[in-house]
Structures are given as C-alpha cells and as structure tokens.
Structure 1
Amino acid sequence: MDVVNAGVLGCGTISDAYLSAGDRFDAYEITACADLDTERAEQAADEYGVTAMAPEEMLADPDIEIVINLTPPSVHEATCTQALEAGNHVYVEKPLASTVAGARSILDVAEREGLLVGSAPDTFLGAGLQTCRQVIDDGLIGEPVGATAIWTSPGHEVWHPNPDLYYQEGGGPLFDMGPYYVTALVSLLGPATRVTGSVTRASDERTITSEPRDGETIDVEVPTHESGIVDFAGGATANLLTSFDVQGSTFPMPAFELYGTEGTLALPDPNHFEGPVRVQKRGEREFEEVELTHEYTAGRGAGVADLAAAVRTDWSHRTSGDLAAHVLDVLAGIRESSETGEHLSFDADLDRPEPLPGAWPAEY
C-alpha cells in the first residue's frame, strides 16, 4: 500500500516515543512536527530529521494525511476538531478527550468529514496482550470470570519534568493509567456494561521533586486515588485501582490478572508491548510461561500504523475512536458513580477488536 504521511502535533515528552518510531513501520512516515513552542518543534525536527512547522501550517499541508495529536488532554477536543475540519485523519494520545461529551463531539466531526480517528493506547496490539487474547480464545483458562488491575505510585511529580497536566482536567491516575488496563480488558473480554466507583483526592496541592522545577507547588484539580468495579457484557467483572497517593506497596507493580473457570492468566504490563504471559491451570501449583504467539514488541507507533492501514485498505481498525470513547465511558463512569453513589450502566454497542495476525506489522 502507498505510505501515509503523518505529522506530530505537540512536541512534549511523549513525542520522542512517536518520532523515534518513524522508521519502524512501512504503512506511514512522519514528515513534520509542530508545537506552539517554535523552539521545541525545531529541536525535535533537527533530532529526528523532519520538518518543523507552525500548527496551523501543518494542519493545512495537503501532503499530510494523519495528524498524531500529542497535545494535553484538556485540549484534545479542540485540537482533534481542528485537525479533522482541516481534512486530516487523527491519531490522538489517551484519553480521547477530557470528557465523554468531548469524545462524542470528536467522533461526530470525524463522521461528518468522512475521516477516521484512532487513539492510544495501542499496547494491546503488542505480542504480550495479543498472546493473552489467543490464550482466552483457545479456552486455556475456561470462561473468564473476573480480573484485577492495580497500578499505584507516589505521583508523576517525582519524575516528570512538567507534571502539571496529570493533575488538571483530563488527568488523574484513572485517566492517565486507566486507559491501558481498561483497553486491554475490553480487547480481551468485550465491552463493559456497568461500573461503580469511589474516588478521592489526598490534597489540593503537590510539590514537585523532579528537576528542573524541584520545590515548585502545583494545584490538583482531579481525584488522585480512584477505584472501580467494571462489569462486562460477557459476565466477567473486574476490580480496578489506580493511584498517585501510594508511597510503597507489597503488590508487584502492576498487578494484572484475569481469572477463568479453568485457570488464571497473569497478564503483562499493559503499558508495554511484550510479555511475559503466564498461566496457572486448575489443579496445578505453579504458573507456566506461555510462548508468545505474536511478534510485535517494538513500542509506540503501532496504533498509527493500524490507522494508516485502515485509511488505505479495508483493514479492520482496532485502535478506533469508538473503542477509545467506550474506554472513556468506563473511566468517567467510575468518577460519576463516586459522585452520585449509584451504579452507572451504558449500552455495550461495541465489538471486541479483532485479533491481529501473528506476523503483524510485517504484512503491512
């Protein structure tokens, strides 16, 4: 298929992961980058051999078909809308938007313009979670019954040079790390139908301890310790805990398991593309590692390749905007449930993403 040209909008910390993936895939090529901070865009362009542009210039460039939107979550709705209305397909970092209404608005604009939206996380396309999908589909652990997903930390201010956005609208541990776990679970179990949750915030301010802003205080606008229960259409239920308020834990991080009628599946870190994948079957005392059934372990950019293939061919788009919007429904539902004290139910109008060929992306 013809290569799809892509441009990166937003040259912050995460942009390195995408720009460094430019030569990893045959489906697309990153040719440009843009940022409101001109100097930052020029530095990224020099490092990765692409063209630095102003944001409006890149959106209007007829040679660029996909905008990789790496702006802060609080402006995802506005920036995705601008890119779509300029005629670009969009692949956006997670979460799709900071609100459910914002996510739906993005998808409505895409439908109106006849364009595609893809969204991170794309880690479920990796060999680790695709192997887990094969384990479940082959019935090695029987029928799925439940799952546990735990991710905790002291907060991003201990390592990130500019942690502000993690404590602003669209941030918090659930919106930051929850997409990895919920996306993985939906890809394995199918859509969710009901959530309940309880969330809290330990303080209204955080003190940065990372360089170069060590000692600076930032405001906290979102919950920082968030737990939920997610029910899936197939009957399984999952416990989810994400936190920026845990100084240490005896749990291995992350703790991610799926329980079936005939065994337990120990899932790999959904923030990565590789394994290990381990299974303990009924009657056995130890977990055994499962050989990976898929090949891709290289890192970010897989979702852009997935979108590019869908742009050019009849490829089944797995990292779709519909999937990302459903995941956001779940995450926002946990917070809403905490506020209302009630379960939140929604229609499960979503199919599980199709499993990938084992050799992907070599085939595209």
Structure 2
Amino acid sequence: MNLETNDNADKIKVGIIGCGKISGIYMENCQKFSVLDLVACADLNPDRAREQAAAYGIPRVYTPEELLADPEIRLVLNLTIPAVHAEVSLQALEAGKHVYVEKPLAISLEDGRRVLEAAKERGLMVGCAPETFFGAGIQTALALIEEGAIGRPVSATAFMMSRGHEHWHPDPEFYYAPGGGPMFDMGPYYLTALVQLLGPIRRVAGITGKALPERTITSEKKRGARVAVEVPTHVAGTLEFHGGAIASLITSFDIFGGSTLPPIEIHGTEGTLLVPDPNTFGGPVKYRRTGEEAWTEQPLLPGYEANSRGIGPADMASALLRGRPHRASGELAYHVLEAMWAFHASSDTGSYYAMQSRCERPAALPTGLPPYTLD
C-alpha cells in the first residue's frame, strides 16, 4: 500500500461528514490527539453542522461536497447513518481522501468489498469503528491471554442483552431498518473484541428472530410514533475461530426485563477471564485460575479508560505518518461485517456459514506513551 510520503508532517488534517448524535465525542477527542487537526465538519442539515462546529470550535463548516473538495483535508471521518456508509466512503476515496467510518463498514458485503477495492486501487487507507478494543479494558484482557494467565483459550460467551433504543434515541428508526438490528448495531463491538482476543473467525452457525412487528417510540421529539421492524431483533449463534476456540454470542433488542448475563467471558485450559463491556474503554478485568476460590481483579494497563472514540482515526493518522499498519483496519471491519452477515445467512439456510475473509489480529497498543499519542 502507498502510505503517501507527502503525509509526513506532524499532523493530519481531518474533516467530519455527519454531525449527528455520535459526532460530539469524536469532535471532542479528535482535538486531544496530537496527530489530528480537525479543521472542518459537514452535514446534509447545515444547521446541525453549524451547531456542532460552534460547540466544539471547528473552524470551517462545509457541505459534504465542499469538504471533499478541500485539498488540505487528508482524512475524512464518515459519521453518517449506516445505510450510506459505503456511498460516502467511496465518494471520499474518489476525492483522494483516507477514510475512517463509523461501524459497520457497510450494510452489504458487496459494498464492503467495493470500499476496500477502491482504497487499494488508489493507495489509500480505510479504517472503521469500533475502536473500543484500544481501551485499557480489552488491552489488559489481551495481555493476560498472551501471558498465558488462563492457559490456551478454548471457549467464550458474549451477551448483548437490550430492550432496543426507541426509549432514548431521538431518531431510532434506522435501528429497525435494513442495516440495523442488534447484530449490526452492537455486534461490531463484541465481534471485534473477540477477534482481538481470539483471532479471526473460521465459521458461524446462527438463528434469528423478531419479538415485535413494530415498536413505539417513547423518547422525546417523536414520542408515540410507530416504527415497523424490518430486521431480526434477536440473533444468537456460535462461532468457531481459526485458533480452535468456540464462542456463543447473543445480540438482542428483545430483552424487556433486564439481564444479569456478563458481556464476555473467555475460558481457557487453566482458568477463566472476565472481559468488560466491549462498548466501553475501561474495566474491570478479572480472572480466576483452576483451583482458586476467588477472582483476581487485574490492574488495568496504563491507557484509555474513558470514552476515547477518536483513537481509531488517531492511530490511522499515526500509521500514515510512520508508514506502519493501522489497527482498526478495513480488513478487520470487513471480517466483522462478514461475520454479522454469517449469522443471518446461517439462519436463513439452516447450515454453517464458512467465512471467506480472514484478517490479521490487531497488534496490541503500546504502553508507556504520553496521553493522546500513539507512537
């Protein structure tokens, strides 16, 4: 891959397309990382772009077309809704920009491949959320596995049990449209964490279901409006990893009375590891070895415990400057996208889905660096 020797300054200029609810934390954190220079934002709703620019001190407000035409912007953060992730990413790549996109990479495998192929043809980088696996919680769990604290990992369980988002999100319709549902909304966090901890996935068996044909919005602004449910809202299944481990995963919007199930457990030949919620950056991380009666809470590695969304683009910018691979890569995101589709395809066909893609396990984040620096 051409890593663009003209990207050899101290910072990479960044523009954000999509100024919705998730954009605030990116705008806040992108200004903390030493390698990023957030210079512009854009949205189809110009008032929303102006409001966010004023709130976070962003100097330029553009239309999406104007942002893509700005020759100073090298990296575009695509924070649009999932249905147009691929379209906007392709436009940015065609404009000669590197792209970091909110999860998922795309809503179809075909579009995901198009994004990766367009980047390869132009010698550009694609990165994708989630970057929560950069957090101190997952990184500490990874270090314990690599140190052999629980022996060889042989199995895992992962649970994302939720009632859905219509009770709090101001615009929840897309969660129940194609590209939505619990697997495409929250599955990226769990699957990315599992790939970080256990490596790439070999095959998947899944079953899907739907509790309700429509949902009633109870959040403000659209309270009382009804939303048709077009996608499965309960997705369960099993993953086999190339390394031999087997994991059970449930993602659901159909848990109306709450749940006490843990987010992720990794079981090894010599113990069990409790992994924190992969939609967060912190802990706690606990483990118990065979024969021990009490859990040991492992001190978190120095790093990122608070909400650090923006670290993925920062790592990508640092990779551009240093000529190294980035961790939240397009290949990782595509592997996760294929795994999400695999649950649905397996359910539809009643058979295992053999994964066609394979990715590198992301390198551990280095420790001992000053805050908000990655090299």
TM-score (norm 2): 0.94
Q: Work out which of the residue numbers 278, 287, 295 in structure 2 matches 1:279.
A: 287
**Does residue 21 of the first structure (1) align with residue 32 of the second (2)?**
no
Q: Work out which of the residue numbers 312, 327, 330 in structure 1 matches 2:339.
A: 330
Corresponding position of 2:51: 43
Q: Distance in 2 between matches of 1:359 and 1:28?
A: 20
Corresponding position of 1:85: 94
Pairing of 1:65-80 with structure 2 (within 5 A): 65-80=74-89
Amino acid in structure 1 at the alignment position of 2:85: H
**In 2, are the aligned partners of 1:169 and 1:222 still within 8 Å (CA)?**
yes
Q: Distance in 2 between matches of 1:121 and 1:92?
A: 9
Q: Distance in 2 between matches of 1:23 and 1:287?
A: 39
**Does residue 318 of the first structure (1) align with residue 292 of the second (2)?**
no
Q: Work out which of the residue numbers 243, 256, 260 in structure 1 matches 2:264.
A: 256
Q: Distance in 2 between matches of 1:120 and 1:235?
A: 26
Corresponding position of 1:59: 68
Q: Distance in 1 between matches of 2:22 and 2:347?
A: 31
Q: Distance in 1 between matches of 2:57 and 2:188?
A: 31
Following superposition, which runs of at least 4 residues in structure 1 exceed 3 angstroms of deviation?
360-364
Corresponding position of 1:362: 373
Q: Distance in 1 between matches of 2:300 and 2:269?
A: 22
Deviation, 1:20, is: 1.1
Q: Work out which of the residue numbers 303, 312, 333 in structure 2 matches 1:295.
A: 303
Corresponding position of 1:231: 240
Deviations 1:205-230 (A, max 9, x none): 11100111110011221110111111
Amino acid in structure 2 at the alignment position of 1:10: G
Deviation, 1:275, is: 1.1
**Does residue 266 of the first structure (1) align with residue 274 of the second (2)?**
yes
Q: Distance in 1 between matches of 2:12 and 2:229?
A: 40
Corresponding position of 2:250: 241
Corresponding position of 1:172: 181
Deviation, 1:347, is: 4.0
**In 2, are the aligned partners of 1:128 and 1:273 still within 8 Å (CA)?**
yes
Change (3 A) 1:363 1:158: closer
The RMSD of aligned alpha carbons is 1.2
**In 2, are the aligned partners of 1:294 and 1:357 still within 8 Å (CA)?**
no
Deviation, 1:312, is: 1.3
Deviations 1:2-38 (A, max 9, x none): 1001111000000011011122200112111100001
**In 2, are the aligned partners of 1:130 and 1:294 still within 8 Å (CA)?**
no
**In 1, are the aligned partners of 2:315 and 2:374 still within 8 Å (CA)?**
no
TM-score (norm 1): 0.97
**In 1, are the aligned partners of 2:153 and 2:266 still within 8 Å (CA)?**
yes
SS of structure 1 residue aligned to 2:30 = coil
Amino acid in structure 2 at the alignment position of 1:27: V
Q: Distance in 2 between matches of 1:333 and 1:231?
A: 12
Q: Distance in 1 between matches of 2:348 and 2:302?
A: 42
Deviation, 1:363, is: 4.6
> Identical aligned pairs, as a percentage?
49
- Which piece of structure 1 moves more, 184-193 or 14-23? 14-23
SS of structure 2 residue aligned to 1:97 = coil
Q: Distance in 2 between matches of 1:174 and 1:250?
A: 17
Q: Work out which of the residue numbers 73, 86, 105 in structure 1 matches 2:114.
A: 105
Amino acid in structure 1 at the alignment position of 2:49: A
Amino acid in structure 2 at the alignment position of 1:80: S
Corresponding position of 2:11: 3
Amino acid in structure 2 at the alignment position of 1:200: G
**In 2, are the aligned partners of 1:179 and 1:327 still within 8 Å (CA)?**
yes
Deviation, 1:42, is: 0.7
Return 5+ residue gaps in structure 1 as ranges.
none
SS of structure 1 residue aligned to 2:159 = strand
**Does residue 309 of the first structure (1) align with residue 318 of the second (2)?**
yes
Q: Distance in 2 between matches of 1:170 and 1:363?
A: 32
Q: Work out which of the residue numbers 35, 38, 42 in structure 2 matches 1:34.
A: 42
Q: Distance in 1 between matches of 2:363 and 2:20?
A: 32
Amino acid in structure 1 at the alignment position of 2:41: C
Q: Distance in 2 between matches of 1:257 and 1:354?
A: 21
Deviation, 1:294, is: 3.3
Deviation, 1:234, is: 0.4
Amino acid in structure 2 at the alignment position of 1:262: E
Q: Distance in 2 between matches of 1:321 and 1:167?
A: 25
